[in-house]
Structure 1
Amino acid sequence: MVKWIELTNFMCPACPFGGGSDWICNMDRLPVYLNEEGSMKCQFGSHTGPLINWTWNCGSDYHKGEFLTADFEGFTFAMSQAVQLTSRAGAEWVAALLHNIGKQYGK
């Protein structure tokens, strides 16, 4: 069974200036969740998909109002800053997530 973790205080993986943010779905304004398989969803699952297809906008000027996809390096850097994911989900969950994200990006 997969474990979904709410993305709170998570660095923007799509820009170099992204500070921590509590991510919400742009469509329904509900919290966004991530699981160890690399899938994202909004709170009730009405919007879901692989992390590689998700788009991000932290509000910095870098985005110019657009939602951008994250590359593998950007997302792994954001993960490295997200110590709370390890404390909330465990090291095995984070390791599985990184492995699955690598597969999505062909790494």
Structure 2
Amino acid sequence: MKINDRAREVMLRRQQLVAQCHLQRARLAAQLEPVGQALTSVQAGLQVAGRLRQHPEWLALAALGVVMLTPRRISAALRGTAQALRTWRTLAPQLQAFLQRR
């Protein structure tokens, strides 16, 4: 009888540890989600930088475009870009949640 009791104790302890492990994994995944999103942004930035290294003429064209713009147009373009960025930051989480539900 002692062997069966010990086996039950070990089995129960194993079940408790497995449940605890699942809980810890879920908590860790929830804590790491923002890090994953940040790394995705960093990876996108690195890809853009890589493309610019492969195609330096793009950077030259962008610089030429900025030089050709008048200060008034630059100001308007920066305001429009800032507004677009604010709109994107507002809508991106909602869009991401919608796409995850699909």
TM-score by length of 2: 0.22
TM-score by length of 1: 0.22
- Larger RCO of the pair (alpha carbons < 8 Å, separation 6+): 1
